[in-house]
């Protein structure tokens, strides 16, 4: 059974694959613009606190759930609590992965297209680029096909092999772009915006954004870490591996800040430009740089690489469901899920100007079908999923049993398990619940009444 499902060959391979899942558009596209619209330094501090206090304990929960059961999110819960309603939480995770994949690959397609656009049509406005269906749809399809080709190779020969090659390349390319940005005149203003916290800017919505970004960035709440954990041998040290994944992901997000803000401020651009920040503002920055054309090509290659190792993990979650639970072959699962993701993603691809009704729809301040999908699946659903999964592991499966499973392969102490259990049972669900509540008008009023926001 183990062999059929596949397994990581080495713990380095696992860490790089899981870091590859975590590191993606979330770090390089989303983190800078969310930081920019939420005031800079203070947001970064809250983000780091969320990673440390909420996400890190929670990462261990997903990993141990996967490794203990060697199953996809649905199968993992079914193994531990057969026939219970909790299985639906696994179902939600699989669905969330599919829906995130559907719009994430659209944005990843733009990033991929920008490699060529930077060379061939640098003057074309971003809006015209994404509005054109003959540009956006084929790019989206190409990106999905690339993802399919990696995932079809399986765990060791597909995902692990490619992550091991692509992640170090990503780091080197990023460092090159950072050095270029930091050496521009006036770059230090950007460093100050990014690092100097101004806590007067912190509101409830800044905390919501920080927590949402933390989950999104670490690929949590939708079973990616359950699934990747399920390919770990029982001898792996989950605590160390999980901590490395969180560390690398946070490092790359911070590096992305150093890549964007110094250059942004050096050229006098607005950090609060929103989701189009890196696509609209960065190319202008590149244009003003010596060797800018080359830097632009580099940058979008690295963005595509980072996105690919993430779409791979998004695709792997539903694929593992079909392989484990439905006994489909890997290639049948991969192609089927790929085609479904393409169909679901079409409205997102067409929502940036191609189809007016899809482009103008709006929900809670998120305009266009694509950004509504990001809000519903990339924000809400991840938070709900993470809250329910931490309750499942902390209360239903139980900290003691989960702790025993966590201790296999590492010298985790009793005390560690107790502290971990406390975070998992109380801190994670309660904090996420409050954050979710504040997303709704009535909940927000309640929190204000209680003096919590
Ligand atoms: N963590 C990925 C990123 O930062 C996005 C992602 C979210 C991937 C959820 C898988 C699951 O880009």
Q: Whose CA is nearest to atom 6 of ligand 1?
A: 219
pLDDT in the model for residue 47: 97
CATH topology of domain 11-449: Amino acid/polyamine transporter I (1.20.1740)
DSSP element (H, E) containing 128: helix 126-131
What sign results for the dihedral spanned by CA atoms 172, 173, 174, 178? positive
| Spatial CA neighbour of 381 closest among 78, 77, 91, 83 | 91
Residue 148 class from Cβ within 10 Å (0-12 exposed, 13-18 middle, 19+ buried)?
buried
Q: Which of 74-88, 100-114, 133-147, 362-376 has the lowest mean pLDDT?
A: 362-376
- The protein residue whose alpha carbon is closest to atom 4 in ligand 1 is 26
- The shares of helix, strand and coil residues in the chain, as percent rounded to the nearest 5, are 80, 0, 20
pLDDT of residue 363: 92
Query: What does the pLDDT average to over 47-63?
Result: 97
> How far out from the chain centre does Cα 82 lie?
30
For residue 426, is pLDDT > 70?
A: yes
Residue in this structure with the two tokens 């060697």, named with its chain if needed: 70
**What is the pLDDT confidence band of residue 3, given thresholds at 50, 70 and 90?**
very low
HSE-up of 58 (CA within 13 Å, CB side)? 34
Q: Which helix (H) or strand (E) holds 437?
A: helix 428-438
Domain ranges for the chain: 11-449
Token reading at 300: 């979008």
| CA proximity to 221, closest of 386, 423, 433, 389 | 386
Per-residue pLDDT at 155 exceeds 70: yes
Q: Using the mean position of ligand 1's atoms as its centre, give its distance from the Cα of residue 288 in Å.
A: 31
**Any residues with Cβ below 6 Å from ligand 1, and which?**
21-22, 24-27, 100, 216-217, 219, 222, 224, 310, 313-314
Provide mean pLDDT across the span 404-431.
92
Q: Residue 137 has which token pair?
A: 């749809």
pLDDT at 287: 84
């Amino acid at each position: 059974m183990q062999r059929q499902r596949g397994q990581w060959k080495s713990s380095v391979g696992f860490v790089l694959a899981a870091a590859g899942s975590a590191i993606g558009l979330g770090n390089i596209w989303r983190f800078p613009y969310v930081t920019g619209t939420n005031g800079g330094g203070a947001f970064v501090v809250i983000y780091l606190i969320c990673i440390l206090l909420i996400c890190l304990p929670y990462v261990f929960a997903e990993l141990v759930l996967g490794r203990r059961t060697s199953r996809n999110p649905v199968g993992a819960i079914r193994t531990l609590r057969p026939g219970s309603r909790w299985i639906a939480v696994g179902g939600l995770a699989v669905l969330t992965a599919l829906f995130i994949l559907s719009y994430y690959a659209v944005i990843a397609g733009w990033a991929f297209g920008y490699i060529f656009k930077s060379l061939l049509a640098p003057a074309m406005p971003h809006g015209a680029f994404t509005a054109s269906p003959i540009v956006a749809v084929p790019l989206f399809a190409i990106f999905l096909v690339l993802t399919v080709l990696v995932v079809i190779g399986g765990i060791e020969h597909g995902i692990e092999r490619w992550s091991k090659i692509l992640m170090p390349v990503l780091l080197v390319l990023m460092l090159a772009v950072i050095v270029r940005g930091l050496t521009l005149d006036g770059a230090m203003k950007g460093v100050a915006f990014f690092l100097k916290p101004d806590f007067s800017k912190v509101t409830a919505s800044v905390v919501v954004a920080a927590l949402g970004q933390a989950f999104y960035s670490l690929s949590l709440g939708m079973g990616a870490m359950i699934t990747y954990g399920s390919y770990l041998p029982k001898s792996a040290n989950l605590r160390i591996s999980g901590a490395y994944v969180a560390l690398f992901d946070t490092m790359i997000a911070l590096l992305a800040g150093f890549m964007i803000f110094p250059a942004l401020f050096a050229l006098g651009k607005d950090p609060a430009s929103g989701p189009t920040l890196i696509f609209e503002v960065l190319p202008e920055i590149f244009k003003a740089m010596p060797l800018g054309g080359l830097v632009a090509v580099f940058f979008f290659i690295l963005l595509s690489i980072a996105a690919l190792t993430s779409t791979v993990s998004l695709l792997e979650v539903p694929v593992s469901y079909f392989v484990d639970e439905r006994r489909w072959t890997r290639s049948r699962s991969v192609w089927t899920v790929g085609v479904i993701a393409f169909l679901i993603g079409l409205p997102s691809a067409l929502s940036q100007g191609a189809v007016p009704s899809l482009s103008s729809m709006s929900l809670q301040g998120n305009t266009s079908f694509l950004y509504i999908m990001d809000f519903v699946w990339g924000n809400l659903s991840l938070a709900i999923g993470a809250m329910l999964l931490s309750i499942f592991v902390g209360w239903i499966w139980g900290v003691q049993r989960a702790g025993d499973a966590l201790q296999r392969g590492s010298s985790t102490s009793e005390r560690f398990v107790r502290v971990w259990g406390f975070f998992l049972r109380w801190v994670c669900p309660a904090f996420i619940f409050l954050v979710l509540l504040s997303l709704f008008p009535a909940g927000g009023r309640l929190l204000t009444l209680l003096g919590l926001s």
